Structure 1
Amino acid sequence: MTSVTPFVSQENAPGKLQDAVVELYTLDSALNANIPESLRLPMVKLLRVVNSFYSNKIEGNPTHPAEILHAQEEGGANDPSDDLLEIKQHIEVQARLANLEIGRGVICTSKFFREVHKEFYQGLPKKFLEIKNPDTDEIIPITPGEFRTRNVKVGKHVPPEHQEISRYMGWFEKVFNPAHIHGTNRLFAAAAAHHRFMWIHPFLDGNGRVGRLFTDNYMHCSGLGGYGLWSMCRGFGRDTDAYYEALSRADMERQGSTDGRGILSDKGLLQFTEYFLDTALDQVKYFSALLEPKKLDERINYYFEMRNRGALLSSTGETLKPLKPESKEVYFKLLRSGPQQRADLQRSLETSERTLRTIVSQMSDAGLVEAPAKKPVALALSPSSIEMLFPHLW
């Protein structure tokens, strides 16, 4: 038997946390319902980049957002640095997981965690596949997708011994399976599952990134239809000290007979749950405000105005080329009405086929639309527009 409290249940949660969960579901539902459908996929793709930046930042990756945007503008023209390659790999793993449509019965299994770990580490340079024992300077190889076979210490935290990992992960799968958790308890479970996985620390390295990838998928399984349009990783990464402090409080051993019955502090778990829900609410409110139609329209207008004045620079410091004046009208048309056939855009603009071809070509080169041959023209978010259209994103 594993003597660890799984999660703070709805019945035992303070009223303010019960209210927070209801508010979170309400705000998430509103965001999911109100976002223009044309913007949904570009935003999901953008959030993968944001998630990767913040999740790797938490682990000490020094890559700056401008480097990521520059790499996107280049389109892979140059070989990325090792740190940028780590972020690129993380983005690709997110995309593959999204395409798999992970089921509720799979999300908490050891197989799932191993596959995510393997996906992330395969293909990374050798320096990412080994760690150094700080006490002995021993170089320890990391096997992608394999649980650790030695005991470790992470700061002040001493995770369960390696012989216990299979038992703990079996317990984890049983108690956190979202198919067996109902109603608002799923969000209380999401918070606890994030900590409990980190506490078990089943891999030699990579537990943080794997744990946050898991939480992204668990939030989807918790009935948050708008998740992916907002991000827990961004909340964790914007104040790394607060994140680690919250995890540390939940690592505490039980503080006397009034602190639950398991080996870990129920008070610490409650504090982490409060931190997790506060972070979630902060993020869904931020992205809801960011996508508020009137304010978004104002930022789009300003972007095109500044671009056509020659007042905007690329990530390399070069002045961005002006666009045809009709480009803004095309952008708003795609935003409001979704992907458009070229003939429909031509009629809407009352222009010639040749002029439309020039407009679409310019916008495609600028990353503002996706315009594959013989397919509708669709909205995109260019690296150069992101910081103006979505301020304070990083």
Structure 2
Amino acid sequence: MSFTPYIPQDKASEELQDQIVKVMRLDAELHGKIPRPLRVPMTNLLRVVNSYYSNKIEGNSTVPADILRAEQVADAPQEVKVSEDFLEIKRHIEAQRRLTDDPIDPVDVCTRDTISRLHREFYVGVPEEMLDIQVNEQGDIIRMVPGVFREYGVKVGQHIAPTAEQMQAHLGQFERVYRLDRIHGLSRFLAAAAAHHRLMWIHPFMDGNGRTGRLFTDQYLKASGFGGYGLWSMSRGFARNTTVYYDMLNAADHPRKGDQDGRGILSDSGLMRWTRYFTETALDQVQYFSAQLDPEKLGERIDVYFEMRSRGALSDGKGNALPELRIEARDVYKTLLHMGDQPRAELQASLGVGERTTRGLLSQMAKEGLIILDGRKPVSLNLSRHSIEFLFPYLW
């Protein structure tokens, strides 16, 4: 027996539809208003944010400062590089990069091949012993093959996943009902909400289903036309209260409760609760990042950051004073933000200082990760690990 694909638009309340429209509007505005030079560094930062929160949901204890330090500094502490928790996050970040470099065709986003690829991407480079999965209470172990669908029954908490045979049938339905060339308007968002739950409920792999499911939702929202997605993150919203996230997933796991609860094998009222939660989470996240990336407010935070840096009045996350930075660094940063990459000579001319002063200033900014210097190429904007906490408060 099949499951309800998603809440039909005509069954969604006016309030829910209004929220979805607001998500779509804010996403479009965010996509349009972010300064072009900030898009790449911000997208890179959001990969880190997305990875941190998706893995935090699974109990990963790595702290953001360690991730940023290892991402931006080649000689990061060895203990950060080799911890298993940290490697999980690095794999997740790298998987997102590969998916950007080799994107999925929107029509194929819900196929078995894509779901298999998402799982496989996460496990690239994993030591073989990390693929050993305990399959029962007797302690029997099997070696999981990344991207290969499970052949065993599993129980996750109170949820008994479909048998391997049932799972294949449900994956076939999943592939049919969530095809984006057959879904339009607000229904695309309603389908994204339901598909996230349905894939988690199907539980197609022996391990890694949560992270694979959240990678899938990232790809599905992008494929659905949310051009600003990647500048905001569902995983960050889910991780704000992991207990509520799992409670809402569990509500949608419930079997149908009589003829007034839909016609599928799962509860339509549970799916409605999950859909409302998914929508509220999306709205919260797109509002947060829209506020953080508002050009006027971001400009004010940049001014204050560099003013404080010029007085040596800022410290890093460990309380160590950051070195003084000439106030002209603010002008360099804002020029790159508003005008894009600039030749060094142009920056020097706009600052009105000597070549030696400009060279020293740019060298310090590059060392701190505020800009990127690459040979004779124009200077480009970057987000340093020290400035992120100030420019994007409450990100973590």
> Partner of 1:370 in structure 2?
372
Amino acid at match of 1:228: G
In 1, the alpha carbon distance for the partners of 2:185 and 2:72 equals: 43
> Partner of 2:383 in structure 1?
381
Residue 384 (structure 1) shift:
1.0
Seen in structure 2, the aligned counterparts of structure 1 residues 76 and 168 have a Cα distance that, compared at 3 Å, is farther
Between 1:164-173 and 1:39-48, the stretch displaced more is 164-173
Residue 378 (structure 1) shift:
1.1
C-alpha distance after superposition, 1:241-296 (max 9, x if no partner):
11101100000000111000111000001111110000000000001111122221
In 1, the alpha carbon distance for the partners of 2:237 and 2:74 equals: 28
Contact (CA 8 Å) 2:110, 2:179: kept in 1 or not?
yes
> What does 1:37-116 correspond to in 2, within 5 Å?
37-79=36-78, 80=81, 81-116=83-118
Secondary structure, in 3 states, of the residue corresponding to 1:245? Answer: helix
> Partner of 2:289 in structure 1?
287
Contact (CA 8 Å) 1:70, 1:315: kept in 2 or not?
no
Residue 298 (structure 1) shift:
2.1
Between 1:188-197 and 1:105-114, the stretch displaced more is 105-114
> What does 1:198-347 correspond to in 2, within 5 Å?
198-315=200-317, 318-347=320-349
In 1, the alpha carbon distance for the partners of 2:33 and 2:121 equals: 34
Amino acid at match of 1:39: L
Secondary structure, in 3 states, of the residue corresponding to 2:108? Answer: coil
Residue 322 (structure 1) shift:
1.8
Residue 320 (structure 1) shift:
2.2
Contact (CA 8 Å) 1:72, 1:383: kept in 2 or not?
no
Seen in structure 2, the aligned counterparts of structure 1 residues 26 and 291 have a Cα distance that, compared at 3 Å, is same
Residue 305 (structure 1) shift:
2.6
> Partner of 1:162 in structure 2?
164
Amino acid at match of 2:27: D
Match status 1:15 vs 2:29: no
Residue 46 (structure 1) shift:
0.6
Amino acid at match of 1:166: Q
Secondary structure, in 3 states, of the residue corresponding to 1:57? Answer: helix
In 2, the alpha carbon distance for the partners of 1:31 and 1:301 equals: 22
> Partner of 1:143 in structure 2?
145
Secondary structure, in 3 states, of the residue corresponding to 1:105? Answer: helix
Secondary structure, in 3 states, of the residue corresponding to 2:107? Answer: coil
Residue 312 (structure 1) shift:
3.0
Seen in structure 2, the aligned counterparts of structure 1 residues 339 and 390 have a Cα distance that, compared at 3 Å, is same
In 1, the alpha carbon distance for the partners of 2:345 and 2:148 equals: 54
In 2, the alpha carbon distance for the partners of 1:127 and 1:83 equals: 15
In 1, the alpha carbon distance for the partners of 2:42 and 2:168 equals: 38
Residue 16 (structure 1) shift:
1.2
> Partner of 2:185 in structure 1?
183
What is the TM-score normalised by the length of structure 2? 0.95
Contact (CA 8 Å) 1:110, 1:173: kept in 2 or not?
yes
- Gap runs ≥5 in structure 1: none
Q: How many residues align?
A: 393
In 1, the alpha carbon distance for the partners of 2:75 and 2:112 equals: 34
In 2, the alpha carbon distance for the partners of 1:52 and 1:294 equals: 28
In 2, the alpha carbon distance for the partners of 1:341 and 1:178 equals: 43
Residue 49 (structure 1) shift:
0.3
Between 1:194-203 and 1:17-26, the stretch displaced more is 17-26
Amino acid at match of 1:389: L
C-alpha distance after superposition, 1:70-97 (max 9, x if no partner):
3234335444111111101100000110
Amino acid at match of 2:296: K
In 2, the alpha carbon distance for the partners of 1:122 and 1:223 equals: 28
Amino acid at match of 2:217: T
RMSD: 1.5
Amino acid at match of 2:56: K
Contact (CA 8 Å) 2:69, 2:76: kept in 1 or not?
no
Contact (CA 8 Å) 1:69, 1:315: kept in 2 or not?
no
C-alpha distance after superposition, 1:47-87 (max 9, x if no partner):
00000000000011111112212323433544411111110
Residue 344 (structure 1) shift:
1.5
Identity %: 53
In 2, the alpha carbon distance for the partners of 1:105 and 1:293 equals: 34
Seen in structure 2, the aligned counterparts of structure 1 residues 157 and 76 have a Cα distance that, compared at 3 Å, is farther
> Partner of 1:4 in structure 2?
3
Amino acid at match of 1:42: P
> Partner of 1:29 in structure 2?
28
What is the TM-score normalised by the length of structure 1? 0.96
In 2, the alpha carbon distance for the partners of 1:347 and 1:239 equals: 50
Between 1:331-340 and 1:354-363, the stretch displaced more is 354-363
